[in-house]
Structure 1
Amino acid sequence: MIKLLLVPAIVLAVVFSLRSRASLRGQARRKILAVLTVVAGVLAVLFPGILQALADFVGVDRGTDLLLYMLAVVIIYLVGSTSVRFREQEARLVRLSREVALTETEARLIARGQPPGRP
């Protein structure tokens, strides 16, 4: 049964992590995932029997193995999410750099007495 749960979980983690970071839905999803991860971690530490019972239910031998599987899915999500965030930041930086370069060029042209429309 664990395979039937892990494969879709990994696919969903990749799909959700590669979506845009700017949407409010994406921000809410990340916050909910963070809270759920913390709550699950605290519960696993305080009540290891629950983790073992859940592991038995899904067909995993040990609760620690189930915890490892769940953490792997979370890490896959975080790696994809971080990759998207870096790409978006890089695109913003490129746009900003181009705007600064154009503004500086325009300022130099004005300082030389040339109209900005002509080099």
Structure 2
Amino acid sequence: MIIQVILIGALILLFAVFVGRAHTVRGQAAKRVGFVLFVLGNAYAILRPNDVTWVAKHVGVGRGADLVLYLLVIAFAFFTVNTYLRFRALERRFTDLARTIAIQGAAEPPIDTRLATVPESRDGGDTPAGPASMNTASMNSASTSASAIGSST
């Protein structure tokens, strides 16, 4: 049947062109022109149903209503893919926007001055603070004062 070749060809052509150029200016213009042609074709089908039946019989479909239904299925598939691609693009834009706002609003972490440097270390110079560079005497005195506070209550 010739209608099967026409419908499959239309689906392949629409998806190839649409997915490849979904968000370009030409792609958007082509979508608008296609939509206007689709609406005009449906208006013609409403006004002249016998002509649609004649076209349907020549392409291998029994009734004009069936031909219109087939074309509506293609239009619905086109609409579904269009909506999916739009939502995917919007999600990508929202993600990029959220990342940009998060990076711009991020504050530098506060520097803990107690751990920045140890005033005097065993070798006499300032060294970076951290668990490996703290002397054991200061660690022991801190733990005994913490245990004394805990036992006094």
State the TM-score, normalized to the length of structure 1.
0.84
Correspondence 1:84 to 2:85? yes
Deviation at 1:18, TM superposition (A): 2.2
The answer for unaligned runs of 5 or more in structure 2 is 112-153
Partner of 2:108: 109
| Closer/same/farther in 2, CA of residues 20 and 97 from structure 1, 3 Å limit | farther
Partner of 2:64: 63
Task: Give the count of matched residue pairs.
Answer: 110
Deviation at 1:14, TM superposition (A): 2.3
Higher percent of residues as helix = 1
Deviation at 1:63, TM superposition (A): 0.2
Aligned-partner Cα distance in 2 for 1:29–1:50: 26
SS of corresponding position for 2:108 = helix
Deviation at 1:75, TM superposition (A): 0.9
The percent of aligned pairs where both chains have the same amino acid is 31
Q: Which runs of 4+ in 1 moved over 6 A?
A: none
Deviation at 1:3, TM superposition (A): 1.0
Contact map agreement 1:13 1:77 (CA 8 A) in 2: yes
Partner of 1:44: 45
Deviation at 1:20, TM superposition (A): 4.4
Aligned-partner Cα distance in 2 for 1:5–1:21: 23
Provide the aligned C-alpha RMSD in A.
1.7
SS of corresponding position for 2:84 = helix
Larger RCO, structures 1/2 (Cα 8 Å, 6+ apart): 1
| Closer/same/farther in 2, CA of residues 85 and 20 from structure 1, 3 Å limit | farther
Aligned-partner Cα distance in 1 for 2:44–2:86: 30
Alpha-carbon displacement from aligned partner over 1:18-40 (angstroms, at most 9, x marks no partner):
23432111111110111011101
State the TM-score, normalized to the length of structure 2.
0.67
Partner of 2:23: 22
SS of corresponding position for 2:61 = coil
Aligned-partner Cα distance in 1 for 2:77–2:13: 10
The answer for unaligned runs of 5 or more in structure 1 is 114-119
Structure having the higher Rg: 2
Alpha-carbon displacement from aligned partner over 1:46-74 (angstroms, at most 9, x marks no partner):
11111111101111000000000111111
